[in-house]
Amino acid sequence: MDRVYKKVELVGISTKSFEDAITNALEKASKTLQGIAWFEVAEQHGKVVEGKVTEFQSVIKVAFKVD
């Protein structure tokens, strides 16, 4: 069976962890994108305030099936 997927880039943000940032992005995207099949982590960044990590940012590429 042949399949086609579209890939989009998302940035998830969390004050807890990179994993939580990824989960936030996927949960939000799944409300409008149907058929999400996989994701890949492209980049990870963090925000530092006064020497402390205050924000985790995960850039992910999400693929969903095109009908």
The percent of residues in the chain predicted with pLDDT above 90, rounded, is 94
N residues, the chain: 67
User: Could you tell me the strand order of the sheet in which 36-49 lies?
Assistant: 5-14, 52-65, 36-49
Give the other-Cβ count within 10 Å of 39's Cβ: 19
Would you place residue 1 in the very low, low, confident or very high pLDDT band (cuts 50, 70, 90)? confident
Asked whether residue 30 is assigned to any structural domain, the reply reads yes
Domain assignment of residue 38, given as a range: 5-58
Say how many CA atoms lie within 13 Å of 15 toward its Cβ: 2
Distance of CA 38 to the CA centre of its chain: 10
Q: Is residue 41 part of a domain?
A: yes
Does the residue 31 lie in any domain?
A: yes
Report the CATH number that the domain containing residue 33 is assigned in CATH.
3.30.1660.10
Model confidence pLDDT, tens digit, residues 20-47: 999 999 999 999 999 999 999 999 999 9
Establish if 66 belongs to a structural domain: no
> What is the domain count for the chain?
1
Q: What 3-state DSSP class applies to 26? A: helix
* pLDDT attached to residue 36: 96
Looking at the DSSP bridge assignments, the partners of residue 13 are: 57
pLDDT at 67: 84
